Amino acid sequence: MNTTSNGAAAGAAAQPRTWTCPFCSLLCDGFALEGGASLRLRGSDCPRARAGLAAFDDIGAPRASVDGAACDLDAALDAAADRLGAARLPLFGGLATDVQGMRTLYRLANVGGAILDHAHGEAMMPALRMLQDRGQMFTTLAEIRNRADLIVCIGTDAVSSHPEFFRRCAPAASQASACRVVFLAAGEGTPTAADIPWASAVEALRPPADVFDTVAMLAALVDGRRIDDADGELAALAEAMRSARYCVLVWEPARLPPQGALVGESLLRLLMNLNRKTRAGAFTLGGNDGAQTANGAMSWLSGLPLRSRVGPQGVDHDPLQYATGRLLDERAVDLLLWVASFTPELAPPATALPRIVLGHPALAAACAQPGTIFIPVATPGINADGHLLRADSVVSLPLHAVRDDGLPTVAEVAHALVTRLTVDAAAKEGVQ
């Protein structure tokens, strides 16, 4: 598998080059990157990408550490294998990695058994449980770009977590289109017409009810049911949705209150009804930090999505029990292996349990503690090649190293641990 790219020497990196951004699940591939030691984005002012890139400015020569003491990679791997081998039930959390990282972590999980959850597991579950209970009707970026005449963002401004979202939805300049964007129950400070210049109108509706009641009301109105005290704006929106040729509902499970899956289910019912007469689809914002990738790869390898336990007894999936916070609070696991290869924002949760962190180099200081092993790893799209799945779970894109920091990939570290653990197991059984 591709690892760090030697071809991406610092000298060659001075020219701007096309780049695929790993810092949110839209995987923008239309911008350029400039510079070697300090990476600069060209063609976008995306704050997520800028912050992601800035975190590589002063990484120095990152070193592994065991219990706060710096050591070489092999010593850290030996110590990590020892602790992992001694654990009865580890949790593989974070999982901010690429496809090859997940493939190898899955192999590692199979060595002694593990539970797998992503750092954004809590935010992913409403969409996953909706899928498991009812299904989904989705659309993708190119469909929105070419077809949408009404985009309704429900409970989200879309751009806080995915700053380029509306630019990615923009029809080609040469194309005549009239698309209205409506923010519904999305709070204050939503984008305006100036922020979405291609839209024929941009409006924000702030009905008095909470998001559950608002969506329920909207669904009833779309369904054509008569509601005596219906909110006038909401009724007009429902009518607009019914007469749109292709309406897109944008929602973001991470922004919903507890039981957010119920909002998702209402939206799906609404979409199913809407699609009996006209066309519509949902776009789910989420899946940052490799969440879409980790869930996708886990599902195809094992047959079940994240929040599953893997071991000799097979795979067991439980979206409620196998949650990182709960497992750590209840001490239901006895070790945390935390993977965060994209940004230092994804620090491992505090816990008294032993921790092994495969992390962004800038997490070194936060992980220099007794009981914690830190192994700095490469980031796909910065100093390693890799593949990530986009938010819509349809498109996946290759990412390429733009420089070489001499860091191992998550897959290489996981592979080294698999090798150590399987050799240890064989030695214990007296196998040569």
Partner 1 sequence: MTTIRLKGGRIVDPANGVDGEIRDLGIRDGRIVALHPGDKVDTEYDLAGCVVMAGGIDLHTHIGGGKVNLARMMLPEDHRLNRPRDSLLELASNGCCTPGTLETGYRYAQMGYTAAFEPAMLAANARQAHMEMGDTPILDHGAYVMLGNEELFLEMLARGEDPQRIRDYVGWAIGASKAMGVKVVNPGGISAFKFNQRKLDVDEDHVHWRVTPRQVVHSLARALSELGVPHPLHIHASNLGIPGNIDSTLATIDALEGLPGHLTHIQFHSYGKEGPKKFSSAARQLVERVNAAPNVSIDVGQIIFGQTVTASGDTMRQFANADLGSPRKYVGGDIECDAGCGVVPFRYREQSYVNALQWAIGLEIFLLMDDPWRVVLTTDHPNGGPFTSYPHLIKLLMDKSFRDEQLARLHPDVAAIADLREIRRELSLYEIAIMTRAAPARLLGLADRGQLGIGAAADIAVYREDADREAMFATPEYVFKDGRLVARRGRIQAVPVGGTHFVEADYDPAIEKTVEAWADRHASISYRHMKIGTDELCSCSNGGALLACKVHGRGRTL
Nearer to partner 1 among residue 199 and residue 357 (C-beta): 199
The region of 84-92, 140-148, 189-197, 355-363 touching partner 1 under the rule CB under 8 A is 140-148
Tokens describing residue 78: 């030996």
d(CA 340, CA 119) in angstroms, rounded, equals 9
List 38, 192, 259, 278, residue binding partner 1 (CB under 8 A): 278
Residue 275 is encoded by which pair of tokens? 């699609």
Task: Closer to partner 1 by CB, 362 or 410: give it.
Answer: 410
In angstroms, what is the minimal distance from the CB of 71 to partner 1? 31
Strand, coil or helix: 17: strand
Under rule CB under 8 A, which residues in 306-325 are in contact with partner 1? 310-317
Segment near partner 1 (CB under 8 A), from 134-142, 176-184, 220-228, 320-328? 134-142
Query: Which letter, b or e, does each residue of 272-301 get, where b requires 16 or more Cβ atoms within 10 Å of its Cβ?
Result: ebbeeeebbbbbbbbbbbbbbbbbbbbbeb
Smallest distance from partner 1 to CB 28, Å: 9
List binders of partner 1 among 145-164 (CB under 8 A).
Answer: 145-147
Tokens linked to 238 = 């429902």
Q: Is 275 in the site for partner 1 (CB under 8 A)?
A: yes
Using the rule CB under 8 A, is 132 a contact of partner 1? yes
What is the C-alpha separation between 141 and 382, in angstroms, rounded? Answer: 25
Which of 14, 37, 142, 227 forms a contact with partner 1 (CB under 8 A)? 142
Pick one of 32, 54, 230, 395: the residue that binds partner 1 (CB under 8 A): 395
- Hey, which residues does 152 pair with through a beta bridge? 182, 249
Report the side by side order of strands in the sheet with 201-205. 201-205, 180-184, 150-154, 246-251, 279-284
Q: Which residues contact 361 (CB under 8 A, 6 or more apart)?
A: 56, 59, 60, 62, 376, 405, 407
Q: Which residues bind partner 1 (CB under 8 A)?
A: 1-2, 18, 20, 29-30, 99-100, 103, 106-107, 110, 128, 131-143, 145-147, 168, 172, 174-175, 245-246, 272, 275, 278-279, 281, 295-297, 299-305, 310-317, 385, 387, 389, 393-398
